[in-house]
């Protein structure tokens, strides 16, 4: 269980069904391992990221990133996270571009109309 604060400031307890997450992780891994040189650890983190996206009915990546940031969860995503510069010489916490693309593909969404990514640095 994880204690979290949602985008409206409401505190809740997040319970995950480990069996369903394992199944989803394996599906993500099998589906994208070759195209994205995906490791099992990355598949696990991507599954968690997608779960946050879906569970909160988010529409855009920055909502997930803000949620992760507000709940101090970035350490759970150390394989896929990056500091992203969209201009303005400002590093914003997010995910690496190839994983951004994978998430968009998996969720059948577009990257939306934000400032273009200039630089990404894994950390």
pLDDT string in tens for the chain (123-residue length): 445 555 566 655 444 556 667 778 888 999 999 999 999 999 999 999 999 999 999 999 999 999 999 999 999 999 999 999 988 778 999 999 999 999 999 999 886 667 788 899 999
- pLDDT number for residue 26: 85
pTM over 0.95: no
Element (H, E) at 71: none
What's the rounded Cα separation, in Å, for the pair 52 and 121?
23
In whole angstroms, how far apart are CA 97 and each of 2, 23, 84, 121? 27, 25, 9, 10
- Residue 107's pLDDT is 92
């Amino acid at each position: 269980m994880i204690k979290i604060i949602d985008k409206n400031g409401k505190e809740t307890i997040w319970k995950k069904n480990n069996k369903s997450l394992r199944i989803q992780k394996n599906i993500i891994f099998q589906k994208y391992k070759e195209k994205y040189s995906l490791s099992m650890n990355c598949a696990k983190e991507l599954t968690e990221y997608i779960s946050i996206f879906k569970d909160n009915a988010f529409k855009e990546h920055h909502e997930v990133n803000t949620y992760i940031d507000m709940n101090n969860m970035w350490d759970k995503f150390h394989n896929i996270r990056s500091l992203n510069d969209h201009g303005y010489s400002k590093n914003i916490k997010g995910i690496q571009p190839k994983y951004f693309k994978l998430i968009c593909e998996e969720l059948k969404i577009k990257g939306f109309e934000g400032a273009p990514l200039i630089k990404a640095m894994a950390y």
